[in-house]
């Protein structure tokens, strides 16, 4: 067997090799230079405080100036992402020869050949296990004549050897290949989630103008997006769906939530005379810490249920697409095991206003004894429809996310 080289515990290595790192930093500098250029143009073409002779020309120049400012901010954010990625480092913890042999023997029994084994600690404190391995046999998933071992099974094997729960990283392939490849495993988050939803389409329409998404932006991080397209029907559905899709793509690309919102808002404001508007509600849950960040743009109130206590989070800003420049409202909470996050579209609150009113909703939610998120969502929707005497005058969507520690249960 090839002799392995142990790294000192204080050794830090670049995640990206030097050549690639320098290229990324060069691209980042180019984006910053472009941002400076647009800001200089914006300053030189600044509008005076005098009354404009031609108001239409003044409005066009103002819109162009706002576009240049937004583009400069977007370029700065792209430069930040590239620079952070280029400078990312991690600490390699040494793996003793005895531990390596134990891991290799354990995996060999399951038809897996281990070539290298590293434990990495990233700057944010998260630990990661890197295994270079290949499959030589298996009996789990069958595809034609081939047999594959899943990385979920591998996570179970190495969890036993490491004496701590591990899970496959988000971007790690689902199955092992016959050739050597690198697979990554992280410490399993202390919390897990269950989600549920309920929706109703406006009675005069065939499709809902509300769009939503539950997606994992990174291992141990769940984002819930809800957008209510202004109006109803196919146009509202198309616009709210576009908002959700753009937010997903930007967040997965590494944009911060606030810059991503600004970019989506700019895209919608650029519609000009054919202006379209949509609300946006974002819930970002960290399953390692329980921290939860809410970003709201013209969205309905969100509720956090903890037993019979209910915390209401509201916003007073306008939907996306109204102004070129806007400020999303950001609020933070720390969730505990057994909490539920309830997100609603405006149609639910409008229906409640025809009966007992929105102010009674926290008490109604607090009295609910259901533990399944889907049951809670259905109960809230049914209650709202009942308050409007069975009429559905606007699209209604209810999203519920429940959080529990790994030892907890429904």
Token duo for residue 231: 């109006």
Give me the domain span that covers residue 109: 91-187
pTM over 0.85: no
* Mean pLDDT (the chain, rounded): 83
SS3 66: helix
Q: Are 333 and 225 contained in the same domain? A: yes
Q: Is the pLDDT of residue 363 over 80?
A: yes
Residue at 128 is within a domain: yes
Judge if 81 and 116 occupy the same domain: no
Q: Any residues with CB less than 8 A from the CB of 8 and at least 6 apart, and which?
A: 94
Question: Based on the domain organization, do 50 and 171 belong to the same domain?
Answer: no
- Of the three residues 87, 105, 133, the one that is the final residue of a domain is 87
5 domain-assigned: no
243 and 381 fall within a common domain: yes
Same domain membership, residue 317 and residue 353: yes
Residue 143 shares a structural domain with residue 212 = no
Q: Residue 118's pLDDT band (boundaries 50, 70, 90)?
A: confident
Q: Quick: pLDDT tens for 259-304.
A: 889 888 887 876 654 556 899 999 999 999 999 999 999 999 999 9
**Any domain includes 369:** yes
Q: According to the model, what pLDDT value does residue 271 have? A: 62
- Residues 205, 314, single domain; the answer is yes
* 142, 59: one domain: no
How many domains does the chain contain in total? 3
CATH number at residue 389: 3.60.40.10
Q: Which of 117-126, 151-160, 254-263, 293-302 has the lowest mean pLDDT?
A: 117-126
Q: Are residues 223 and 357 in the same domain?
A: yes
Higher per-residue confidence, 17 vs 102: 102
In a domain, 398, yes or no: yes
Residues 106 and 212 in one domain: no
The verdict on residue 395 lying in a domain is yes
- Residue 137 located in a structural domain: yes
Q: Is there a contact between 307 and 288 (Cβ–Cβ < 8 Å)?
A: no
The phi and psi torsions of 87 (rounded to 5 degrees) equal -95, 5
Q: How high is the pLDDT of residue 213?
A: 96
For every residue of 200-241, DSSP letters joined together read E--TT-SS-SEEEEEEEEETTEEEEEEEEBSS-HHHHHHHHH
Q: Are 395 and 236 in contact (CB under 8 A)?
A: yes
Q: Are residues 56 and 197 in the same domain?
A: no
Among 38, 61, 87, where does a domain finish?
A: 87
Instruction: Tell me, yes or no, whether 262 lies in a domain.
Output: yes
Residue 8, domain member (yes or no): no
55-87 helix and 18-44 helix, angle to the nearest 10 degrees: 160
Same structural domain for residues 77 and 216?
Answer: no
Q: Which of 40-49, 56-65, 284-293 shows the highest mean pLDDT? A: 284-293
CA distances from 320 to 10, 314, 323 (A): 47, 16, 8
Reported for 264-273, long-range contacts at CB under 8 A and 24+ positions apart, including other chains, are 264/320, 265/297, 265/320, 265/321, 265/323, 265/324, 265/326, 266/67, 266/70, 266/74, 266/324, 268/239, 268/243, 268/320, 268/321, 269/320, 269/321, 269/322, 269/323, 269/324, 270/67, 271/321
Q: Please identify, among 40, 60, 87, the residue that sits at the C-terminal boundary of a domain.
A: 87
- Give the pLDDT band (50/70/90) at residue 63: low
Confidence (pLDDT) at 262: 87
Distance (Å, whole) CA 97 – CA 393: 68
């Amino acid at each position: 067997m090839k002799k392995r080289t142990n790294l000192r515990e204080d050794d830090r290595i670049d995640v990206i090799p030097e050549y690639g790192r320098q290229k990324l930093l060069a691209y980042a500098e180019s984006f910053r230079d472009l941002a400076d250029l647009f800001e200089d143009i914006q300053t030189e073409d600044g509008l005076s405080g005098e009354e404009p002779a031609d108001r239409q020309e003044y409005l066009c120049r103002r819109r162009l100036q706002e576009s240049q400012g937004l583009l400069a901010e977007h370029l700065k954010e792209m430069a930040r992402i590239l620079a952070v990625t280029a400078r990312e480092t991690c600490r390699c913890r040494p793996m003793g020869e005895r531990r390596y042999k134990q891991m290799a023997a354990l995996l060999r029994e399951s038809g897996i050949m281990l070539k290298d084994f590293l434990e990495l600690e990233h700057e944010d404190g998260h630990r990661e296990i890197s295994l270079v391995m290949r499959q030589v046999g298996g009996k789990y998933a069958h595809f034609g004549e081939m047999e594959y071992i899943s990385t979920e099974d591998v996570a179970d094997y190495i969890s036993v050897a490491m004496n701590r729960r591990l899970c496959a990283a988000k971007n790690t392939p689902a199955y092992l290949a016959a050739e050597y490849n690198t697979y990554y495993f992280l410490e399993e988050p202390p919390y897990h989630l269950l989600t549920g939803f309920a929706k109703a389409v406006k009675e005069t329409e065939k499709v809902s103008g509300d769009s939503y998404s539950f997606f994992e932006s990174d291992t141990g991080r769940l984002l819930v997006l809800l957008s209510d397209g202004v109006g109803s029907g196919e146009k509202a559905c198309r616009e709210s769906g576009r908002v959700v899709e753009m937010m997903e793509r930007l967040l997965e690309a590494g944009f911060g939530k606030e810059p991503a919102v600004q970019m989506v808002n700019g895209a919608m404001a650029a519609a000009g005379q054919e202006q379209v508007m949509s609300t946006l509600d974002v819930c970002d849950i960290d399953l390692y810490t329980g921290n939860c960040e809410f970003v709201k743009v013209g969205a309905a109130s969100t509720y956090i249920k903890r037993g019979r206590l209910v915390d209401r989070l509201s916003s007073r800003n306008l939907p996306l697409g109204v102004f070129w420049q806007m400020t999303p409202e950001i609020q933070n909470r720390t969730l505990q095991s057994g909490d539920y996050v309830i997100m609603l579209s405006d149609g639910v609150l409008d229906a409640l206003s025809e009966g007992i009113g929105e102010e009674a909703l926290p008490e109604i939610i607090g009295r609910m004894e259901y533990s399944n998120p889907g049951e809670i969502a259905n109960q809230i929707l049914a209650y709202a429809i009942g308050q409007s005497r069975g009429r559905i005058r606007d699209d209604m969507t209810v999203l519920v996310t429940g959080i529990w520690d790994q030892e907890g249960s429904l």
